Amino acid sequence: MALKITFSPEALEILLSISSNIENNWGSRQAEKFLEKVHKTLDLASKNPYMFKASSIEDSVRKGFISKQTSFYYEVHENELFILFFWDNRQDSIFTD
């Protein structure tokens, strides 16, 4: 059974920003493809919430990968996959994982 996917306000804001940036630089089709990949990855994670490794932030936070350029951080709750935020991997990491 898949967990319900919930986004923090920050996660939604960052996801929209990344998508907008892709659209501005590479067109709407690339932005759509990116969002499709996000949807597929989050759907898979909601069905297999421990498929991605725990992050260095704390044990309860896991780090998933959308693409070479984009990761997401999330927590697994009883009936929910809570997306904390997305991360552009081209930025300097503030984490050591």
- Indicate whether 74 belongs to any domain: yes
- Indicate whether 75 belongs to any domain: yes
Q: Look up the domain containing 45 and give its range.
A: 4-87
- Indicate whether 19 belongs to any domain: yes
CA–CA gap between residue 52 and residue 83 (Å, rounded): 13
CATH number of the domain at 37, please: 3.30.2310.20
**Could you report the per-residue pLDDT of 15-46, keeping only the tens digit for each?**
999 999 999 999 999 999 999 999 999 999 99
State pTM to two decimals: 0.88
Mean pLDDT of the 39-62 span: 92
CA–CA gap between residue 19 and residue 30 (Å, rounded): 9
